[in-house]
Amino acid sequence: MGRKVGVIAAVLTALAGLLAVYLYNRITFLDHDAVSDSVHVIYGVGGNVAVLRTQSGAVIVDTMAFPIQGRRILDLAERLGGGPTQAVVNTHYHADHTHGNPAWPIGTRIVATERTRAYLERFDPAFWEGSAAGSAPNELFTDRHELRIGGKTIRSFYLGRGHTGGDLVVLFVEDRVLHAGDLFFNRRYPNIDLEAGGSVQQWAETLDRVLALNFDKVIPGHGPVTDRAGLLEFQRFIAELAEFARESAAAGKSLEETLAAADLERDGAFEEMSIPFLFKFDRDFAIRRAWEEASGIVQPVELSAPAPAKNH
């Protein structure tokens, strides 16, 4: 019996080791591609990262989900971006776009909206203590922010509610490339964070304002790089989802009735996003969140003012 127990323990230990190696390799693997002469996108576990090459060094948008990823992104981005990091932009507060931040030296310019900083403090305070203290956004704005770095212009805009209540988009002006963050999931079912101010009902109008900007290519928060037509495809799905949810709520339908009656047509090419036991963003999830908002079941939390930070 003792020998059998020993064999089982050895097998379990080996399997745990193999799983740890797999997870490490999966988390730390990065791929990248050119979007323009000066802009690259980095793909990995988490939100898409943009890197702008300037004469002075790199400007980086988002940092993925883990500090270990951030360290690898830092190295790759500074090679792609022509030198040391000049600024980091966080499109919104979610961990898969911000938890790589501690890889950058304390004092790095980290740009975000005031609401994103407030959401970090409200929903994710524990992460930003200890070794991550000082790595949260420190250069905050309300509606519009501009950087001029190494011959390049980087404009960030808050254009309204959608994925959360604080998402910004980043325009690399000279390259005509937009990083839309999670206001755009390219052919993926989106996460809809109602508690942090997200809104299916307002999302399409927010995207109208995004589409009024001057860009040709767009980096989504998740999914491959595309163009204006790809963003329009997502907007049409969001508008259809919002209308369906409004009609269902007005008719007094339950969630079960709403799911059963769903006849959406704009998501035929969409894929779910999921990690077992953690989350699953699929058609049912999108419909449920849209119905919860339209029915008034979920309301955004009240925010306190963010902690003082440098403003420009």
Give the predicted TM-score (pTM) of the model. Answer: 0.91
Q: CA end-to-end span of the chain, whole Å?
A: 70
The three-point CA angle 119-40-174 to 5° equals 90
Residue 15 within a domain = no
Residues 6+ apart with CB under 8 A from 219: 35, 39, 41, 48, 50, 61, 177, 178, 179, 180, 225
pLDDT recorded at residue 6: 53
Return d(Cα 177, Cα 169) in angstroms, integer: 11
Residues 6+ apart with CB under 8 A from 48: 41, 42, 62, 179, 219, 220, 221, 222, 223
Residue 151 within a domain = yes
Residue 19 within a domain = no
Return d(Cα 109, Cα 139) in angstroms, integer: 6
Residue 2 within a domain = no
Look up the domain containing 207 and give its range: 31-311
pLDDT recorded at residue 13: 53
State the DSSP code for 271.
Answer: B
Looking up residue 66, the CATH number of its domain turns out to be: 3.60.15.10
pLDDT recorded at residue 19: 44
Give the chain's domain count. 1
Residue 286 within a domain = yes
Bridge partners (DSSP) of residue 157 are: 144, 169
Residue 12 within a domain = no
Residue 5 within a domain = no
Question: Residue written as tokens 């193999």?
Answer: 18
Return d(Cα 184, Cα 228) in angstroms, integer: 11
Q: How far is CA 289 from the centre of its chain?
A: 18
Residue 11 within a domain = no
- In tens digits, the chain (312 residues) has pLDDT values of 556 545 454 444 544 554 445 455 567 799 999 999 999 999 999 999 999 999 999 999 999 999 999 999 999 999 999 999 999 999 999 999 999 999 999 999 999 999 999 999 999 999 999 999 999 999 999 999 999 999 999 999 999 999 999 999 999 999 999 999 999 999 999 999 999 999 999 999 999 999 999 999 999 999 999 999 999 999 999 999 999 999 999 999 999 999 999 999 999 999 999 888 788 999 999 999 999 999 999 989 888 766 555 444
pLDDT recorded at residue 18: 45
